Structure 1
Amino acid sequence: MKLSTGYVRASGYAHKVRRVLFALVRRRVEPKEVVRAAGELNQRIFDRLVEMKVDKADVIRVTVPFSIRDGQIVWDYENLEIEVYRREEEENLARAMEEVEARERELEERIKEVEEVALRLKELSEELLERIERLKEEHTSLKIKAEE
């Protein structure tokens, strides 16, 4: 099994770990064991966050595999992953997303303009074809009158 917190502020990871773990092992492990295992994992995460100099306002995502043996949760700490998204990076990302969204809106407007031109060209093309057909009809009727 694998626990994944999803994206959460570093200041709130411990509560999220506990909630997710309770949901994952419901009816398979005693609640006291969930509390013990969550506390153990949270201490390990805290130590790593301190080593990584993670600010409490940064966003993190924790994933760690685990197994259940004899009613106990056993963490696979070798595969503990902590992704960190720094607050400063978030602001840069937010600005970049705004720019992307603005460019997408501009692209949509330009596509709409081109579509309108294409529609007008189609209408003009149809009008030209109608006029050509009328000219052919007139030419054919003139030819028939001349032959009579």
Structure 2
Amino acid sequence: MRGDGDGWVFGADGARYWGRFGAAGLLLCAPADSGVVVLLQHRAVWSHQGGTWGLPGGARDSHESVEQAAVREAHEEAGIAESDVAVIESIVTHSAPEWSYTTVIAKADSPVATVGNGESAELRWVPAESVAELPLHPGLAKAWPGLLARLT
């Protein structure tokens, strides 16, 4: 379903951002034998920054909080049920005068099953300490050290 937030925002410097009202992504973590694992999405090649690993997420609609948007997007892109998610905190991890991206940190009791849509080449539960080894979406790569510190 297409929401009213879908669309590009263009910055004064020529940068473009997806989400007319900003965007949000869900950093879903769960306990595992190896420690904490996080759900990552290998972005479809056709998408913005395609081929990189990021968080399930996307444009926030005008009527949504960032938490609602992140959970909705995780459901759409990864099949994550709202009932499997406990939101912990929300952090603005990118801000421009015209736009912002919020990372919503949430926990699941265990690594839940996923079902990707056309925006996902792959979904994978990754040990938190191994995330930086993947070719990350530039925004996630920049934010990851601060996010990792909140998970451990």
Whose Rg is larger? Answer: 1
Higher relative contact order (CA 8 A, sep 6+): 2
- TM bin (shorter chain): under 0.3
Given the two structures, how large is their TM-score scaled by the length of structure 1?
0.23
Given the two structures, how large is their TM-score scaled by the length of structure 2?
0.22
